[in-house]
Every structure is written in structure tokens, then in C-alpha cells.
Structure 1
């Protein structure tokens, strides 16, 4: 089959990561990239010297079969609507939008039209998540889930170029950017999410949240959630811990699948690798699924409906 034309709008760290997997992928060819930033143009030239920045977003949409939208959140839905109207498949970064009402309307529109669209939650393709799922039967009836996401600073060091919006309350914050991944995992593994209570701390001005606490359910299972900025020395620490009647399993620091032994110690899966090594493996699997979605075939990517349910919870926490 002919290679699928991939367009990318937004060439920050996420756009660049996807590009590095797309270039050698046998089912894709890069048809265009657009980002207004001069720094993005320099990164593109370094990543693929044969590629030049497109003149505008419209030209990228015109030339692609599938559009990856990695621009800041306010641009997601205008670009997605334009691409879907042109008959393109769409792969969105989260959150879907900065306006939850608009996100609700967009998902309804896309579903009614049978649109080929998905959201980039990499845990849909993570080998570590697959290991966690394989272990679930061994811990007996599930009792509770605990999610923790903590940061030495926000944004993280590697996100400095996007700090202008990531550090702001309107579009950024760690709850939208990071907690959403673990809520997606809870939704997919356990069932529908329902927020029960939440508290959030903001700095003065328009800065993003510095602390959250919440209780919710996932498929009826009790879930506790906590997150903070500035309380740890490390850049980042996170965990997703599922307790059962006969033990517990967890995903730690994105890529480490672990199981608690009878003596209370955590044992890491033998094939576990740190996230910097796991990330390209997971993203390659995402690209395989993206090719299937673009061709109208079954795939396991996060659906628009799943992303919308996660966003509802995230925005409710942030409004608490």
C-alpha cells in the first residue's frame, strides 16, 4: 500500500518526537510541517534537512492524509474541524480544547460524521501498561486505586520553550498535561470516571495550579488523586497503584511495571526500561495504530469520547 501522507502542525517537543518515529516508519511519509516559531524551523531543519517549513497550516492540511495537531490547546479544535471538513484523519494532542462546551460539541459532531479521529494518550500502546493489565487477575478483586503526580518544578525543564502557555492557568498546568494520562489509564482499565470531591491550590496571578487533591471513582472503584509542584527534589515522580485482595500492581514513573510481593517489596518487571527508552517503543506502536485509523481499520488509540471524559474530570478538578 502507498505510504500515508502525514502532516504535523505544532513542532515543539511532541511534534518532534512524533516526527522521529514517522520518518523511518514504512507506512508514513512526511507531507508537511507548520509552526510559526523560528526555533521550530531550526529544529525541523536539523531533524530532516530535506524538509522545509510549510507556509501555513492550510497547506499542511491540503497535502496530508492524516494531520497530527501538537499546537497549544486553543488551536486544537479549529485545526481539527478544518482537517475533518477536508476529509482528513486527525490525531490530536490533549486536552481537546480550552472550552469544555466546545469540546463536547466537537466530539458530538465528529461521532455523528463517523470521523477518523483519535487522541494521543500513549498509554494506549505502552508495553508497561500491557504488563500491568496482564497481572491484574493475580491480585484478586480490585479494592482501590491511588494516583500520584509530583514535580520539582512546573513546567519541567525540557518544556521551557512552551512555558508561555504551560505555566498559565488558561491552557496549561500539570493536571491537564500529566494527570490526564493517568486518568485515561484508569478509564480504560477500570471504567467510567466520576469525580466526587476536589481541592486545588493556585498561586497569585494567572499561574497554573501548584497542588491538587481529589477523590473519584473509576468503574465504581474508589480512586484517590494527588499532585504537587515544589514538594520533591526530583524533576518528576508519578505512580498509578491498583490494590487488590491478594496484592497490588503499579505503574511507576511512566514505564516501570511493578508487582508487590508477599513480603511487601515491589518487584519490577524483568523487561522494564526507563521512560527515555520506553518512549520511542510506545510511540512506534502508536504510529502503527495511527496508520490503521487513517485507513479506516480497527485501532486501539484513545477515542475522542475517552479524551472528553478525561477532560470533564480535569476541568472539574481545576474549577474546584
Structure 2
């Protein structure tokens, strides 16, 4: 039987998911919704789907087996609530929201409904991340040095705190998620940030955090959106006799045998889409970031962002690693 997918959000990441879903056997994107109808029509045409001016119209018009929510951070909330009401398996792109309260509320509803979910932390599907985890199993990380030094995306909502949540929440969240996978749970720390005023919007344009993990490891996480292009985006790990540098595309390993570079062999977005669809069909169980797990990362980045904008103390609303 054909698995029928609805897609909310016709931006860049929505297009990535539509293209990968369109390669899967017996899977069809049947509807695309976006408030910019022309954009929805252009994306829908790539899959032979119908375009809708909003998610309400999509849900009312289409028979769906699952829903992808690929909206800007401030767009989360009502659409997920509607999916829960309909019992639709739900794929949500990160971040979960601009704030923590919205994500906590949705997580409670999702848990109560027992709904199948996945969140777009696609770095978890990198084959290079799996290789890094194997290496670290024999020599656990003692230090993490993570950076997202980049330009500001060219979308109008991104530079405004109430619409994006800021760079730590919207982009650097991938780095914190990877650190949770490879190192452990953060137990505390400090963060600072500032804004130069040289760019439009009101988000912090530089932020850095020093954190401690429950394993005893320490880490620093820095991000900036002031550069003309992507400069340094990845996670560096230091372990006894082992150094790793992981990006979305490569893993550099430095050990007693020298230095070697491993290119990824897996498209992580295609891999997470295959895993989610298999789970929807009842044919697989490889969803690596269900909503409750993604919430732990969102709690962490929300705490870091609040500390950077406030008194500097990273206080987790609930200890990371404790189920919602």
C-alpha cells in the first residue's frame, strides 16, 4: 500500500525531505502546504502533489498516513496539536519551537497519545558519527570543542528572537545534540553572548558556553552568524590517544596511526526519512530522535540561550537525561 505523506512548509528543508521521500517505493507526498501558495505549488509540482495555502486546508483535504512539519521555529504549535488530534504520525523539523514551554506542552500531548514521532536531528544518521561512537567506546571523550561559525540565513524571520529563537536554538542545536550522543548529558555550566548591532534583527550574533557533562568531560560551544559564509561547523572531541573532528560531511581521525579523513557514505536526511517511513509502516524501528529525546536537546539549548542572554548560569529546566 502507498504511504501518503503531507508536508507543511515549502522552504529549503521541506524540499530536501520531499525529494528524498519521492525516491522511496510506495511512498507519495500527496499535499504541500505553505502560506506562500506559489511556493507550495512549485514544490508540490516536483512530486505531483496538490498545493494548499495552509496546514488546515491540507489536513481537511487529504487522506494522510503521516505529516511532515517543516516550518520556521515560530510556526510550531498548532499544527502539531492538530496532528495529535488526528493520530497522525509526525515528523518535526528542529528546533521544536522558539521557546521551551511550547515544546514541553507538545511533548506531554504526544506522550499521552502514544504518537509515533521523529525529529530532524539528521546528524544522528551519519555513518561517520557511528564510526566516531565506536572509537570513543574504547577511549571516552574528555573534551568537546564545538563551533557553528557561519553567515545568517537569508530568510526574514531568522534574525528575530521571537521568530527563530536565536542561532543557538535554530542552528547550533545540532552540535549540542551530537555532543549528547557522543559524550553524555550536560549537568551545568555558563554561557555569555552579545550583539554588535551590525546586522538586522535582535538575536545575539556571538555566543559561547562552557559546559560540564555527567561523564566528567568538559566542553565549549561557540556560534556566530557574522561571517560571509560557512567558516567552521562541527564538533571536535579529545580523548586519550584520540582526536576527532566531525562535520556533516567528514570525520577526521587522529590517533597513533596518524591522521585520516573519512567522507560520509550516507545521506543523513534520506536515512532519517527511510527510518521514519519504515516505522510508520510497522517495518522498522530506527527512529533515533523521537520527540521526547529531541526535547532533551531542546531543553539544553534553551538553557544555554537563556544564560547567554541573562545571568550567564546554565540551569536546565529538568536535568537532561530524565524522561519528560
- TM more than 0.5: yes
Does structure 2 conserve the Cα–Cα contact (< 8 Å) formed by 1:184 and 1:306? Answer: no
- Equivalent-residue separation in structure 1 for 2:34 and 2:285 (angstroms): 31
Partner of residue 172 from structure 2, selected from 170, 179, 184: 179
Q: Secondary structure at the match of 2:19?
A: helix
- Structure 1 position 75, deviation (Å): 2.1
What residue in structure 2 maps to residue 66 of structure 1?
A: 66
Q: How many equivalent pairs are there? A: 300
What does residue 241 of structure 2 align with? 246
Alignment check: 8 A CA contact 1:193 1:309 kept: no
- d(CA) in 2 for partners of 1:293, 1:203: 46
Distance 2:175 2:207 in 1: 14
- Give the aligned partner of residue 50 of structure 2: 52
1:185-215 deviation per Cα after TM superposition (whole angstroms, max 9, x unaligned): 1112232233410001124474222111101
Distance 2:102 2:44 in 1: 35
Consecutive unaligned residues in structure 2, runs of 5 or more: 308-324
Q: Deviations over 1:233-272 (max 9, x none)?
A: 54342121111111112203x2111101348x64202xx1
Aligned-pair distance for 1:124? 2.0
Instruction: Please give the alpha-carbon distance, in whole angstroms, between the structure 1 residues aligned to 2:53 and 2:160.
Output: 29
Equivalent of 1:286 in 262, 272, 288? 272
Worse overlay, 50-59 or 27-36 = 50-59
Secondary structure of the residue that 1:166 maps to in structure 2?
coil
Cα displacement string for residues 58-84 of structure 1 (whole angstroms, at most 9, x for unaligned residues) = 242352111100112222221011011
Deviation per CA, 1:97-156, whole angstroms, max 9, x where unpaired?
223122112212211221111211101211221222232245x242111111111x212x
TM-score (norm 2): 0.85
The TM-score with structure 1 as length reference comes to 0.86
* Partners of 2:134 and 2:251 in 1: CA distance: 11
Q: CA deviation at 1:27?
A: 4.1
2-structure distance, mates of 1:257, 1:226: 20
Give the C-alpha shift of residue 32 in structure 1: 0.7
Secondary structure of the equivalent of 2:98?
coil
Give structure 1 regions of 4+ aligned residues with deviation exceeding 6 angstroms.
none
Q: Which runs of 5+ in 1 are unaligned?
A: none
Structure 2 distance, partners of 1:100, 1:309, is 10
Aligned equivalent of 1:317: 304
For the 8 Å contact 1:196–1:214, the answer to whether it is kept is: yes
Give 1:235's match in structure 2, choosing from 226, 230, 236: 230
